């Protein structure tokens, strides 16, 4: 029995030795992931995530836009890096460059996009010359609050020479410099165009003097992912353009009760008007047409005059201020009022008929006007219109206008 047991022990030892060599040979054949030789027997083999280091980490969520995106290798060098951003159902390659020593890649973009998925594909050689590949993905923060700008004038419109580019934001902007940097306004032929902030929710742009007729203006908004206020990010990434038409400047003389219309330097007509009465005078100053309404309702309660009037069908209404100053058709006053007496609540009235007539003074002016035309009031007993009341920015001197930039 002892002899039998001794043979069994010798057979077991031989079997164990054979299994050990088989495992070593298997290791030598390269069956360990990412390693070579016998490395897998004596420690964890080097895998792709050891050779290629990617930040942010794989599968990470809610990555903030200021988080660094980088790829590096401690040893060896990078062969290729491809990064794709998926956002709003579109895939966009992210440009970047590999450093001179081949060990680091950085994107050309300084900040990550919000609400996006990033996919990073990397091929590298480790320190022993073995090729390794790695893919990671991560998603960025999706903000709950966004800001947008409502823009004037409209895209592809033809406007008068007094047009001011005006951006009205739906939320308060506290980092005005960041938002201002994201707007570009250019003109052909070239002109110096400067921005001015009115409070924290409006940004206007204009040249020093009225635009030259024929000027083509392009406005680029690159608000996507710009942080305009803590936790509030921009949504728009768009470009629009407009063309400046002929020059038309009209002067309302409230004392003489006339409207003098000049087109490209040539007088067109002098039209009798009625301006604001003594207790409710018309603003003085330069105003810009922002709306042309064939017919509109005017209710005194909407402009702080109580129940003094409510006219449901005012014809040929040309808006001049946000506060309710219009140049409009007037069919309810006697014909001899125009040119003789100021009776309005601050608007400028031209003779018209109920429903609006094409051949009346109001119809004639309406048909020859563009959004962006300038109407200047002189000779009134009221103060000058505020620069932020409608597009009243032409009432502000150039140096003061320029001082209203957040980047001065």
- Write b or e for each residue in 312-333: b if 16 or more Cβ atoms lie within 10 A of its Cβ, otherwise e: eebbbbbbbbeebbbbbbbbee
347 included as an active-site residue? yes
Computed on alpha carbons and rounded to an integer, the radius of gyration of the chain in Å comes to 36
Q: Are 244 and 374 in contact (CB under 8 A)?
A: no
Q: Are 291 and 395 in contact (CB under 8 A)?
A: no
For 92, the token pair is 């966009």
- Compute the distance between CA of residue 319 and CA of residue 289 in angstroms, rounded to an integer: 6
Residue 276 Cα to chain centre, angstroms: 39
Torsion angles phi and psi, residue 41, rounded to 5: -85, -20
328 included as an active-site residue? yes
Give the active site residue among 196, 316, 345, 347.
347
C-alpha separations of 347 from 17, 363, 387 in Å: 107, 16, 18
Instruction: Tell me 386's DSSP state.
Output: P
Q: Cβ contacts of residue 216 below 8 Å, gap of 6+?
A: 187, 188, 241, 242, 243, 244
Tell me the pairing of strands 70-72 and 53-55: antiparallel
Q: Among 57, 100, 62, 107, which Cα is nearest to 83's?
A: 107
Q: Cβ contacts of residue 321 below 8 Å, gap of 6+?
A: 283, 287, 385, 389, 390, 392
The DSSP H or E segment spanning 73 is none
Q: What is the dihedral of CA 275, 278, 325, 215, to 10 degrees?
A: 60
Give the active site residue among 196, 316, 328, 345.
328
C-alpha separations of 383 from 192, 203, 258, 280, 283 in Å: 30, 24, 19, 11, 6
- Compute the distance between CA of residue 389 and CA of residue 250 in angstroms, rounded to an integer: 19
- SS3 for 93-139 is ECCEEECCCCCEEEECCCCCCCCCEEEEEEEEECCCCCEEEEEEEEE
For 189, the token pair is 């032929």
Catalytic site positions:
328, 347
């Amino acid at each position: 029995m002892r002899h039998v047991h001794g043979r069994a022990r010798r057979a077991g030892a031989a079997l164990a030795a054979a299994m050990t060599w088989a495992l070593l040979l298997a290791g030598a054949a390269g069956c360990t992931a990412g390693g070579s030789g016998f490395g897998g027997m004596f420690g964890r083999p080097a895998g792709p995530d050891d050779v290629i280091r990617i930040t942010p980490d794989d599968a990470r969520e809610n990555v903030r836009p200021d988080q660094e995106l980088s790829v590096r290798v401690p040893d060896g060098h990078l062969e290729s890096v491809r990064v794709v951003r998926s956002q709003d159902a579109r895939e966009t390659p992210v440009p970047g460059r590999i450093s001179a020593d081949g060990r680091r890649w950085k994107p050309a973009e300084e900040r990550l996009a919000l609400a996006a998925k990033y996919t990073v594909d990397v091929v590298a050689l480790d320190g022993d010359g073995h090729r390794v590949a790695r893919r990671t993905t991560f998603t960025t923060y999706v903000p709950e609050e966004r800001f947008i700008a409502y823009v004037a004038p409209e895209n592809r419109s033809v406007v008068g020479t007094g047009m001011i580019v005006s951006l009205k934001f739906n939320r308060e902007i506290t980092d005005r410099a960041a938002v201002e940097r994201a707007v570009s306004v250019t003109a052909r032929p070239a002109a110096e165009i400067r921005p001015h902030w009115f409070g924290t929710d409006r940004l206007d742009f204009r040249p020093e003097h009225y635009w030259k007729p024929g000027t083509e203006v392009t406005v680029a908004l690159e608000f996507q992912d710009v942080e305009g206020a803590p936790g509030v990010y921009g949504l728009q990434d768009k470009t629009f353009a407009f063309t400046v038409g002929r020059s038309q400047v009209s002067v309302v003389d409230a004392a003489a009760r006339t409207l003098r219309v000049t087109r490209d330097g040539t007088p067109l007509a002098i039209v009798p008007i009625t301006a604001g009465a003594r207790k409710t005078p018309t603003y003085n100053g330069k105003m810009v047409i922002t709306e042309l309404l064939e017919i509109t309702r005017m209710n005194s309660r909407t402009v702080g005059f109580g129940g003094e009037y409510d006219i449901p069908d005012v014809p040929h209404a040309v808006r001049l201020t946000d506060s309710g100053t219009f140049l409009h058709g007037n069919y309810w006053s006697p014909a001899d009022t125009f040119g003789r007496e100021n009776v309005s609540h601050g608007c400028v009235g031209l003779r018209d008929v109920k429903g609006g007539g094409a051949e009346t003074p109001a119809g004639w002016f309406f048909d020859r006007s563009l959004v962006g035309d300038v109407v200047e009031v002189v000779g009134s007993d009221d103060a000058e219109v505020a620069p932020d009341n409608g597009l009243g920015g032409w009432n502000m001197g150039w140096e003061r206008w320029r001082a209203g930039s957040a980047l001065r």
